[in-house]
Structure 1
Amino acid sequence: MPGHSNSSAPQPSLQPPLPGIPNDRLCNELLGASDAAADTGDLATAAAHARTAAMLAASAGLASHLRAAQLRQGRLALLAGDREAAADWFRQAGAPDADRTPPDGAARADPGARLWGRLRHTWRAPEPQRSPDPAQPAAHLAPQLAIALLGSLNVSVDGVPAEGWNGHRTRSLLAFLATHRDPWPHREALMDTFWPDSAPEAARNSLGVALHQLRQTLRTATGDPVVVFSCGTYRLCPGLGLWLDCDEFDLRLRTARDAEDRGDKTDAVTDYEQALALYRGEFLAESPYEEWSALYRERLRLAHLDALARLSELHFVTGRYVPCAELCRRLVELDPCRESAHRRLMRCLSRIGQPHLAILQFRSCAKALQAELGISPQRETAALHDRLRADLPV
């Protein structure tokens, strides 16, 4: 996550959870934000936006957006004075090697090749080495580990996916390491977490087998070590950058709430949409019975519901009733007894000329409350229903 010592760009499989909010639009907004930050000299923020755009583009199969994000990161490396890193990014974007001449027309058709060709001529003569400015963060972060734990597990290193996962335990072990970084867990902590009822020797053997299987799977993405043992603890290799969708989800929610606090509804909407795009499902959904993950799963689930509610309210107060109604439908599907969402949906339906559907929504609300809690709708909800039946404005 941006601001953490292990940040990165990724390739999990995302799908836009909100109708009408496609990933290509989110990518464009992130790339624009990256350009704006770079123009002000804030390279750290620019790199963070570019990394997230690359993650969304790679996971959604948006090749042109992925290339644009990689070219942005090459530009940021140039601004930071790191030519070697810039060359790596431009090559990833599809530029040919420095000693290979592209076929006729290729340089004209390929923006990466075109840019690489220009850079080759400007880099012929070496310049004196400059001492790095400690106040200016480098734009390049070498090898990038991306882990998506919301929904099905997706892991990649520099965009190459890890494949051949063997059982839930290896998935859960990697997830535990990714979410327990301060401090990193000791061997005994892992044994107590995953094999609490086993004898110490059996638990140690089981941990060794699980670690071996995890490392074998990660080797399908990179030949470099990913999980290492250091200072008595198991950890992700410090030479890797880390992008974790849970961290990014939390960050987007914080920035959205900060934007709300300062009255910036536009930024708040953008950040909430980006957070919701990251939430592809419950935390570690493929391992729902691991005890250690229960609190993480519930915290993130509640944060997701809160984000849906806050974004729907922002749409409602700005008169965007159709997207508000879509969000409220999502919310009552996930939390059928949330009366505030039912009421907002009823108001939206009435304001877009569908009062009959608003009345039916009240009946759905009453049915859910009776079935789940054995209670009737609140007085406020019943009064709203009465106004709708009387054809009064709501």
Structure 2
Amino acid sequence: MGPPSSKLAAEVVEGLPYGIVIVDAEGTVRGSNGAADAWLPQLAQDPLSCADLFSCRDPGGPCESGCLAQRAAATGKPLPEIRIDTAQTGDVSALWVTAAPLREEGRAVLHLRLGDANDRRRRSSPHWISGPQLRIGAFGRTRVDSAEGPMSGKWIQQRPGEVLKYLVCERNRVVHAEEIAESLWPGAGRQGPGRVRHFIHGLREQLEPGRVKRAPSHFIVNVRGAYALDRRNVTIDADEFEAAVEKGLAHDERGENDQALASLDEALALLAGEFLADEPYAEWAYAERERLNGLAGKALRTVIRTRLDQADLPKAAERLEQLAELEPFDSDVQRRLLAVFVAQGRRTKAARRFAGFRMRMLREFGEEPEFSLSDL
């Protein structure tokens, strides 16, 4: 049986209960069927671009990363279905759209079916527009987000999550299975590497539930029996914090106070808690936690110095309180904080803060503080 005639093909397309829109290489709409015309009245305009039809480039929209038709033409294969909310006030609140390439170079066909703007689903396959991306929040309790939203669950506190946190801690190198096993489960012996492989598999299942069996992971790479996070697809707030601190300190060295404060405030805003706070007793996290705490201390001291130079006591006090929490037994930090409180006339708060500091020193070291309130 040969291909249908052009007339028959046109009748079939026109009679489909689904919308069909043809787009050329420049993104201009070249044709549509009756269903599409009924759902999208703006198709009556000529000329009309695909971007105008679906607001492809609008910030925050499902297609802000690129035009559906052009992406389909470039990849040479159909894209997963995506829901696009329409601007219509009638019965059509949303459409499910699939883009596929046509034989003619650069052209694509858009297949439309009715949707519901209240549908919580956004697309049928995760990460397909911008590529697989994972964001890990390591300050405070560990948080994992994909392009679809938070990837929460008990697994983060179980073995697969523990392996992920270890890889976050060792994010700048490739770690052998034996080292992972010895760090997480000392004394595991010969069974250690096998346990690591088992939990790496479980971790990949959590991060990429739709991954084809035996297909390489976009997030956890295997290099000859060693593992690492794929930094091309995984971003971590600790890295952003470190970069912003380094940028701020560089501005400070050049005397660029406004830029330094902006960068350092940006960095400090990322501190939702201590690094991997949900692993407080993990020895393998201690060194990295202390290193990042040291960076936070540098950032805070720089901001405090600048704010005091500017006689901005409220903002200096805010950062001094943050530094005092970070370094609770540092007498110099506590003394400077109390001095600012006194200078602000906040004597009651100064007295309460000193009493708390004195009790901590006596409990932990059996010593009185090196200064008294009268010294201030």
Question: TM-score of the superposition, structure 2-length normalised?
Answer: 0.60
> Does 1:288 pair with 2:283?
no
The AA in structure 1 aligned to 2:327 is D
Q: 1:69 to 1:349 in 2, by over 3 A?
A: farther
> Does 1:235 pair with 2:235?
no
**Map 1:5-24 → 2, pairs under 5 A:** none
Equivalents in 2 of 1:149, 1:293: separation in Å? 11
Q: Which residue of 1 aligns with 2:177?
A: 187
The AA in structure 1 aligned to 2:258 is T
Which stretch shows the higher mean deviation, 268-277 or 175-184? 175-184
Give the deviation of 1:237 after TM superposition.
Answer: 4.6
Listed one character per residue, the Cα deviations across residues 291-344 of structure 1 (whole Å, up to 9, x for unaligned) are 221211222233334433332332222122122223323333443322222222
Q: Which has the higher contact order (CA 8 A, sep 6+)?
A: 1
> Does 1:196 pair with 2:186?
yes
Q: 3-state DSSP class of the match of 1:170?
A: helix
Tell me which of 137, 160, 171 is aligned to 1:170. 160
Listed one character per residue, the Cα deviations across residues 84-123 of structure 1 (whole Å, up to 9, x for unaligned) are 59x9xxxxxxx975xx964149xxxxxxxxxxxxxxxxxx
Q: Which residue of 1 aligns with 2:374?
A: 385
**Map 1:211-360 → 2, pairs under 5 A:** 211-220=200-209, 225=217, 226-237=219-230, 240-355=232-347, 357-358=349-350
Listed one character per residue, the Cα deviations across residues 24-57 of structure 1 (whole Å, up to 9, x for unaligned) are xxxxxxxxxxxxxxxxxxxxxxxxxxxxxxxxxx
Equivalents in 2 of 1:185, 1:371: separation in Å? 40
Q: Which residue of 2 aligns with 1:103?
A: 88
Gaps of 5+ in 2: 1-56, 75-81, 91-104, 108-128
Task: Determine if contact 1:163/1:220 at 8 Å carries over to the other structure.
Answer: no
Equivalents in 1 of 2:289, 2:337: separation in Å? 27
Equivalents in 2 of 1:236, 1:199: separation in Å? 25
Task: Determine if contact 1:168/1:287 at 8 Å carries over to the other structure.
Answer: no
Q: Give the root-mean-square deviation of aligned CA atoms.
A: 4.1
Task: Determine if contact 2:135/2:234 at 8 Å carries over to the other structure.
Answer: yes
The structure with more helix, counted as a fraction of residues: 1
Give the deviation of 1:273 after TM superposition.
Answer: 1.9
Task: Determine if contact 1:359/1:385 at 8 Å carries over to the other structure.
Answer: no
Equivalents in 2 of 1:306, 1:172: separation in Å? 29
The structure with more strand, counted as a fraction of residues: 2
Equivalents in 2 of 1:193, 1:346: separation in Å? 42
Kindly tell me the number of residue pairs found equivalent between the two proteins: 276
Q: 3-state DSSP class of the match of 1:206?
A: helix
The structure with more radius of gyration: 2
Q: 3-state DSSP class of the match of 2:235?
A: strand
Give the deviation of 1:244 after TM superposition.
Answer: 0.8
Equivalents in 2 of 1:149, 1:211: separation in Å? 19
Q: 3-state DSSP class of the match of 2:273?
A: coil
The AA in structure 1 aligned to 2:133 is Q
**Percent of residue pairs identical:** 27
Equivalents in 2 of 1:291, 1:162: separation in Å? 26
Question: TM-score of the superposition, structure 1-length normalised?
Answer: 0.57
Q: 3-state DSSP class of the match of 1:147?
A: strand
Q: 3-state DSSP class of the match of 1:319?
A: coil
Q: 3-state DSSP class of the match of 2:175?
A: coil
> Does 1:147 pair with 2:136?
yes
Gaps of 5+ in 1: 1-66, 88-94, 106-124, 128-139, 389-394
Task: Determine if contact 1:150/1:285 at 8 Å carries over to the other structure.
Answer: yes
Task: Determine if contact 1:163/1:217 at 8 Å carries over to the other structure.
Answer: no
Equivalents in 1 of 2:184, 2:321: separation in Å? 38
